[in-house]
Amino acid sequence: MDNFKHFNISTDHENICWAEIDVKGKSVNVLTQEVMTDLANIIDWLEKNTKITGFSLTSGKPGGFIYGADIAEFELYKTKHDVRSHMEFVHGLFNRIENLHVPTAVGIDGIAVGGGLEIALTFDYIITTSSNKTKLGFPEVNLGILPGYGGSGRAYGRIGTAAVAEMMVSGKPLIAEAAKNIGLIDQIVNGADDIKPAIKSWLEAQNQKKPERGQRETKADQGALEVCREKFLRKVRVEHTPAPFAIIDHVKKHGHSSVAMSAGEMDVFPDLMVGSASKNLRRVYYLTDKVRKTARGDSKIQKLHVVGAGVMGGDIAAVAAMSGLNVSLSDVNSSAIESAINRSANLFARRLKIDEKIAAATERLKADPGGDHAANADLVIEAVAEKLSVKQAVFADLEKIIKPGAILATNTSAIPLEDIATALNDPSRLIGLHFFNPVPVLPLVEVIWSIHSNQDLVSSGMQFAGQIGKMPIRCKSSPGFLVNRALLPYMFGAIEAVVSGENPEKIDQAMVDFGMPMGPIELSDQVGLDVCLDVGTVLGIAPGAEKLLKSKCSDKTLGRKTGSGFYEWSDNRAVRSREPLEPKLSDDISRRMLAPMVDECKKAVQEGVVDSSDDADAGMIFGTGFPSFRGGPINWAN
């Protein structure tokens, strides 16, 4: 048998053919066109070989099976015809694996998602390890598509309507035990070394006969589909992200036959693939990968000290402790430290779940009222009041006690680092690490550098962000950096429109119709109108908006926190009409409202505040909730 570039092939004394996928030039296995061609040649050989008694597929890369298709190659398919032609080739190939004349088994240790799960489902018997790193799933919905290699029907045949619909619509992977419980896989073994013996035992027991597997259901369970629709689609709009709606319709239409469901993918997938939502979601996938790569490397930060135990400082400390760092937390108010520690306990319980992990994280987070641990910290983050004089005083004191090589960082949301650094003898040690509230939820960290900053420390800041699971965007020090520079003119522009007589409810609804999590007026109430005014004073604000905000601050109607602002608030929810607007009106309002945001993003690129339009779009998506299916403000505007 010929040698293959991406597979290692051997045949044992019992004439079982063992194939190991080991994609050359890739750190993980993905189904590129080259890999598919290799696989087709292997199947050609198997179909002609009458001596083979069984066929097995495993991975030659430890700790991972197949991560799906090569997403980068999706861009080769420009038209629906291109997409369908590729699908027809792969469907034909996977059908041939399914119809081989000998029993087949696949062994999975690690990730098997997307096309990786779809190829596994073509085998008669699926074995996985019990490792908590073994995950099986259909994440395609996150790219605005559905499984496209026959996986929907093959999974439906094994697990039925409710389970397959939830897997595809949620995009969430299953651990091995959960997959076994619903019938997606057949056997679990302890570790990777147990896979091949288990495969061999099963294949030999079949005595060269393929097992028969019936279809679990003979028609789609309509009740289960409605449950799935209610659970996942209640707040989703088909005009924004059509894929989850198409998935439910697909299962409903083809529930009579798993074979028809697999084939039916070719009627749905191409339209989704070439649609704007999928194109933009794929763009966000590439942006996410790009940002994560900037966070790779060893920050050499193991000990963190946080000054300021308010909501931001306390949550930064908790997230860092949860990520494995030893953290100390100081504040002039000891009750603030106590509150932060109590909040962290809830976060640890919610995220870590296992008692030992919760206890370890709790042990790593220390109350430090006197700030004594700052002297031994590798990184000190200041998260005190957004007042220049206060921050300067904190850093002047810290510089006297920190160890050589330690990094000083400010969590300022808008104050230029050059202004803060005037309090330091060595301003090169100061960088910005601007987190976003709520810190445990929002992934963005703006890593700020000034004309004084040591770039090695800036790189360490990027790596630190990755170390604690965040997405860093590198920004030059300037008022508002990226996100606040672009977000606040959008908010103030909307307030100015209200001053001019526009209906705030229509403005907010238009932006929700566009895909924003909430509109700019409601967001102002959420942030606090006093905070908006304070930041506007630093960054600039139109006179009409400033006058209205001053009036509301004078009346103590500050938004959600006082129960009244632009809206009345009940149970932490703004009381306003939420009826969708007529599309033309909604589109007109959203374009006008977003113009200042787009303009500031473009200026930030032109002025070198961020390195590229990609970084600007990524920052606004990860930091403000700008809808992923729009691809970012600049991408949308273009």
CATH code of the domain containing 350: 3.40.50.720
**Crossing angle between the packed helical segments 243-254 and 222-232, to the nearest 10 degrees:** 170
- One domain, residues 237 and 111: yes
What DSSP character marks residue 332? S
Question: E strands within 49-93?
Answer: 54-59
Structure tokens at 55: 């066929």
- One domain, residues 60 and 205: yes
Residue 2 lies in a domain: no
DSSP code per residue over 121-149 = TTSSEEEEE--TT-EEE-GGGGGT----S
Assess whether 546 carries a catalytic annotation: no
Show the low-confidence residues of the chain (pLDDT under 50): none
**Contact present, 390 and 332 (Cβ < 8 Å):** no
- One domain, residues 445 and 524: no
- One domain, residues 444 and 505: no
- One domain, residues 465 and 522: no
Query: Which of 525, 527, 515 minimizes the C-alpha distance to 576?
Result: 525
Q: What is the pLDDT of residue 100?
A: 97
Instruction: Give the three-state DSSP class for 519.
Output: coil
- One domain, residues 529 and 462: no
Residue 423 lies in a domain: yes
The active-site residue out of 20, 166, 382, 446 is 446
- One domain, residues 596 and 620: yes
Q: How many alpha carbons fall within 13 Å on the CB side of residue 628?
A: 16
Q: Which residues are 573's β-sheet partners?
A: 570
Instruction: Give the three-state DSSP class for 436.
Output: coil
* Number of compact structural domains in the chain: 3
Residue 288 lies in a domain: no
430-467 burial, b at 16+ Cβ within 10 Å, e below that, comes to: bbbbbbbeebbebbbbbbbbbebbbeebbbbbbbbbbb
- One domain, residues 456 and 529: no
Task: Count Cβ atoms below 10 Å from residue 104 Cβ, excluding itself.
Answer: 24
CATH code of the domain containing 90: 3.90.226.10
Structure tokens at 513: 């119709």
Domain encompassing residue 414:
297-469
**Contact present, 202 and 187 (Cβ < 8 Å):** yes
The active-site residue out of 59, 118, 434, 496 is 434
Domain boundary residue, one of 437, 469, 501 = 469
- One domain, residues 318 and 463: yes
- One domain, residues 301 and 423: yes
Structure tokens at 140: 């395609």
Assess whether 142 carries a catalytic annotation: no
Q: Which residues are 106's β-sheet partners?
A: 57, 126
Residue 413 lies in a domain: yes
Assess whether 207 carries a catalytic annotation: no
Residue 229 lies in a domain: yes
Reading across the β-sheet that carries 7-11, which strands appear in turn?
7-11, 16-21, 54-59, 104-108, 125-129, 187-189
Q: What is the pLDDT of residue 2?
A: 64
Residue 475 lies in a domain: no
Query: Which of 264, 238, 240 minimizes the C-alpha distance to 250?
Result: 264
What is the maximum alpha-carbon separation in the chain? 88
**Contact present, 46 and 93 (Cβ < 8 Å):** no
Assess whether 446 carries a catalytic annotation: yes
> Residues near 220 by Cβ (< 8 Å), separated by ≥ 6?
161, 251, 252, 254, 255, 256
The active-site residue out of 131, 413, 450, 590 is 413
Residue 282 lies in a domain: no
**Contact present, 64 and 272 (Cβ < 8 Å):** no
Q: What is the pLDDT of residue 539?
A: 86
Q: What is the pLDDT of residue 437?
A: 87
- One domain, residues 233 and 303: no
Q: What whole-number distance in Å separates Cα of residue 508 and Cα of residue 616?
A: 23
Q: What is the pLDDT of residue 1?
A: 59
- One domain, residues 340 and 224: no
Residue 285 lies in a domain: no
CATH code of the domain containing 547: 1.10.1040.50
The active-site residue out of 131, 484, 590, 613 is 484
Q: What is the pLDDT of residue 573?
A: 92
